[in-house]
């Protein structure tokens, strides 16, 4: 998949990622497309059902969070900072 935007795939129980991405996108003027994986498909991306994978516009994995937690927004921000300011 090659896209002009970052893409975040989250597990079937990772609905909290929608608000995390919305917050990060608004505060940093960054477009991130979000897709929910069907139950049982998470293992293909090596995450748990609440986890997420951020894909760079060139198709490479930028960040993998095994499962969502209270620090998910910070993890996403740190991952993006490393990519965008490297």
Say if 16 falls within a structural domain.
Answer: yes
Q: Are 74 and 80 in contact (CB under 8 A)?
A: no
Is 1 part of any domain? no
Percentage, residues of the chain above pLDDT 70: 95
Indicate whether 66 belongs to any domain: yes
pLDDT digits (tens, 9 = 90+) for 45-65: 999 999 999 999 999 999 999
Cα–Cα distance, 44 to 51 (Å, whole number): 12
15 belongs to a structural domain = yes
The sign of the dihedral angle between the CA atoms of 86, 37, 50, 66 is negative
Q: Does residue 34 fall inside a structural domain?
A: yes
Task: Report pTM.
Answer: 0.87
Question: Closest Cα partner for 57 from 5, 1, 11?
Answer: 5
């Amino acid at each position: 998949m090659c896209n002009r935007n970052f893409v975040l795939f989250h597990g079937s129980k990772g609905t909290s990622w929608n608000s995390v991405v919305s917050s990060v996108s608004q505060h940093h003027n960054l477009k991130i497309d979000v897709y929910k994986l069907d139950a049982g498909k998470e293992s293909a991306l090596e995450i748990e059902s609440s986890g997420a994978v951020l894909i760079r516009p060139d198709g490479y994995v930028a960040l993998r969070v095994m499962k969502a937690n209270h620090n998910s927004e910070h993890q996403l921000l740190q991952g993006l900072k490393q990519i965008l300011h490297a």
